[in-house]
Structure 1
Amino acid sequence: MDRLSAPRDVVLLPKAHLHLHFTGSMRPATLLELADKHGVRLPEALSSGEPPSLRATDERGWFRFQRLYDTARSVLRDESDIRRLVRETAEDERRDGSRWLEIQVDPTSYAPRLGGLIPALELILDAVREASAATGVGMRVVVAANRMKSPMDARTLARLAVRYTDRGVVGFGLSNDERRGLARDFDRAFEIARKGGLLAAPHGGELSGPESVRDCLDDLGAGRIGHGVRSAEDARLLERLAARGVTCEVCPSSNVSLGVYERAEDVPLRTLFEAGVPMALGADDPLLFGSRLAAQYDLVRTVHGFSDAELAELARQSVRGSLAPESVRKELLADIDGWLAGPAGAAALEGDADHHGLVHQLHAEGGAHAVADLAGQRQ
């Protein structure tokens, strides 16, 4: 393709990132360095430099995925580790053109090594504040309960999250295998969160079908859905999501890596988009899936044929679905319009050296295999 007619650089497209997990945002090189620092022995699936082969559509596969995630999390043992992860995540977001990040974390997972639940959350929030100031990327936190744990634990987390709304907590989530347990078991936790001013953003419609999305809406008062991609299997549910403007945090590379869909082209992004369901593309866990945010936009362009105008609309939807202050939203939306108004190819030619060509060469610190992702070749 001639340089002057090249599509606009998706790295330079301003965007918000609404579905990124804390440990899963770690750079592979950082995982290796922290494992060496703390004497943690990593399995080959995490130490080989290649994204692990994953398939979580059965219980055994999900257990393996969760075990790898837990092992990666075990290298985060002190304050400097937490601050490093958050700072590097913010730097990677900036390189990918992300200007606003809402990162999801279950602080109970880090509390035993960080002095308890409250110190862990306060450290994470302070690290987020520090990294945001250093990089210019707006950052907030979604506190997430674990579906595999007690609903009483979720209520404790919800109360804690509400206490820190003035320190950067903006939402309350529910993660882990949605096939286990019922959404309504966590209804009281989500009621606490919503009454405290937090957005309800549980996972649904990934490993389970559209019924799990309906449960999130009906039982948890969800204002945003983590994943939600399998809503495409129910036309009436699509109409409901579109009418209510409920944003689905869709993570196409993750969907293929975990076996939700066999190929990248099977992810029903067009179905959701054309039904008017707002979407925010997300990277989920780049450490395990091998690609970050800009690669998701490149995948949507390359595999699903989205035009620059449609990519700009996806970026707008990510901003509208965020909890960024109104002034930040207006600035981002204006800059998205500016990206689209520029001549095709010019954005890539005029971008600064840190951004130019990033999606195709990828930065060494994370996501070394997004190119394979784009071709739909990931397991």
Structure 2
Amino acid sequence: MASADAGGGCRRDVTALPKAHLHLHFTGSMRHATLLELAARDGIVLPDSLVEDWPPRLSAADEKGWFRFQRLYDVARSVLRTPDDVRRLVLEAAEDDVRDGGRWLEIQVDPSGYAARFGGITAFTDLVLDCVRDASARTGLGMAVVVAANRTRHPLDARTLARLAAQYADRGVIGFGLSNDERRGSTADFEGAFRIAERAGLLLAPHGGELRGPEHVRTCLDRLGAHRLGHGVRSAEDPALLDRIVQQGVALEVCPVSNVALGVYSDLTSVPLPQLLAAGATVALGADDPLLFGSRLAGQYATMRAAHDLDDTTLARLAEMSFAASRAPQDVVDAARRDIAAWLA
């Protein structure tokens, strides 16, 4: 369905545009209604900001703000008590992406955050991959997993997770990441974990360039060998760095709504997507944590369309780049490109 825009052109339905989703965190993908239902089942008292004041007002401008964000995430994770809960979360995440035009999803998970309740990191990884296969079969959405280490934990823990990811490199795990507050810890200390993942042929996708600026992006490139950057949006502040990113073909997983919610930018018009595109960067829009930010995959395209007056050709280019930056099988990519062209035509 298309409607006329102010310039007499055509504004196509953004939910019908085929997309790959490359930046979605595991618990953060949960539906708000599911959070409320599972919490009520087990008598878990949720903070007001996850109930009537949802989505919460967040900021990560300082450590206190990030701590509040992380606390809400941990509370949400605590409602996942059984394998069926995990299966439900993965299936609903897949259903939501399909509803938003998703064709491929790379969901990110730190197994150590769930290990105590689900029998260890290997058992939980087995469970997640089984749920991913089931959800993919039921929805038709292509899916894979990125195992992510937590930068607030010891780098040796990250090496353990990298070896775990390597063991599953041909069984549904396609990448290795590094998440949590990028202002904490020393990124260079995680180089050993990324070398383990690199030897296994995994995609390297650490978070960088959101809460810290260009200097941290350089560290992610130089020390971790990043193929993709979780966020990376602040690369726009350094033209020489941005040119390097373009020349090296490093893709940026840009999550506009979360950038604004966490106080990185004051409003959606300040997210420098046009500058990134003008420089030739490969950008894949992602939702990050819909549970905490209140916006899913199609919402990122819709908000950037409105904030920057993007035409449909630019939206189609963004969708194409999301597949180019993915580890989706070639047949999925080819079909998506044909359908993107059809959407635009």
Quick one: which of 221, 224, 228 aligns to 2:228? 224
Of residues 309, 316, 320 in structure 2, which corresponds to 1:312? 316
Partner secondary structure for residue 318 of structure 1: helix
Q: Distance in 1 between matches of 2:220 and 2:9?
A: 44
1:330, 1:6 → 2: CA distance? 25
CA-to-aligned-CA distance 1:229-248 (integer Å, 9 cap, x gap):
00000000110111111110
**Structure 1 segment 237-252 matched on structure 2, within 5 A:** 237-252=241-256
**Consecutive unaligned residues in structure 2, runs of 5 or more:** none
Q: Does 1:209 align with 2:209?
A: no
Q: 1:262 is matched with which residue?
A: 266
Residue 37 of structure 1 is matched in structure 2 by: 41
What does residue 305 of structure 2 align with?
301
Contact 2:4 2:11 (8 Å CA) reproduced? no
TM (norm. structure 2) is: 0.97
* Kept after mapping to 2: 8 A contact 1:22/1:103: yes
Corresponding residue of 2:332: 328
Quote the residue 2:294 is aligned against.
290
| Structure (1 or 2) with the greater strand fraction | 2
Aligned to 1:198: 202
Quote the RMSD (CA, aligned, Å). Answer: 1.1
Match of 2:146 in 1: 142
Number of residue pairs matched by the alignment: 341
Q: Give the Å deviation of 1:121.
A: 0.6
Residue 319 of structure 1 aligns with an amino acid whose one-letter code is F
Structure 2 distance, partners of 1:96, 1:14, is 8
Q: CA deviation at 1:37?
A: 1.6
Once the two structures are TM-superposed, the CA of residue 5 in structure 1 deviates from its matched residue by 5.5
- Map of 1:165 onto structure 2: 169
Structure 1 match to 2:284: 280
Distance across 2 between alignment mates of 1:11 and 1:306: 15
1:330-352 Cα deviation digits (max 9, x unpaired): 111111111111xxxxxxxxxxx
Q: Secondary structure of the residue that 1:111 maps to in structure 2?
A: coil
Q: How many Å apart are 1:157 and its aligned residue?
A: 0.2
Q: Match of 1:207, SS?
A: coil
Q: Is the 8 A contact 1:86 1:131 kept in 2?
A: yes
CA–CA distance in structure 1, aligned partners of residues 4 and 306 of structure 2: 17
Q: Would you say 1:104 and 2:108 are equivalent positions?
A: yes
Q: Secondary structure at the match of 1:118?
A: helix
Distance (Å, rounded) in 2 between the aligned partners of 1:51 and 1:192: 38
User: Over residues 133-186 of structure 1, what are the superposed CA-to-partner deviations in whole Å (9 max), with x where a residue is unaligned?
Assistant: 000000000000000000000000000011011220000000000011121100
Per-residue Cα deviation, 1:54-92 (whole angstroms, up to 9, x for no partner): 001100000000000000000011100000000000000
Q: Which amino acid aligns with 1:273?
A: L
**How far, CA to CA, are the matches of 1:142 and 1:2 in structure 2?**
40
**Which residue number corresponds to residue 345 of structure 1?**
none
For the residues of structure 1 that align with 2:108 and 2:53, how far apart are their CA atoms?
Answer: 25
Q: Which residue of 2 aligns with 1:370?
A: none
CA contact (8 A) 1:28 1:49 kept: no
> What's the TM-score, normalizing by structure 1?
0.89
SS of residue paired to 1:70? helix
Say yes or no: does 1:187 pair with 2:191.
Answer: yes
2:30 pairs, out of 17, 20, 26, with: 26
Question: Quick one: distance in 2 between partners of 1:213 and 1:336?
Answer: 31
Does the Cα contact within 8 Å between 1:107 and 1:143 map onto a contact in 2?
A: yes
For the 8 Å contact 2:105–2:141, the answer to whether it is kept is: yes
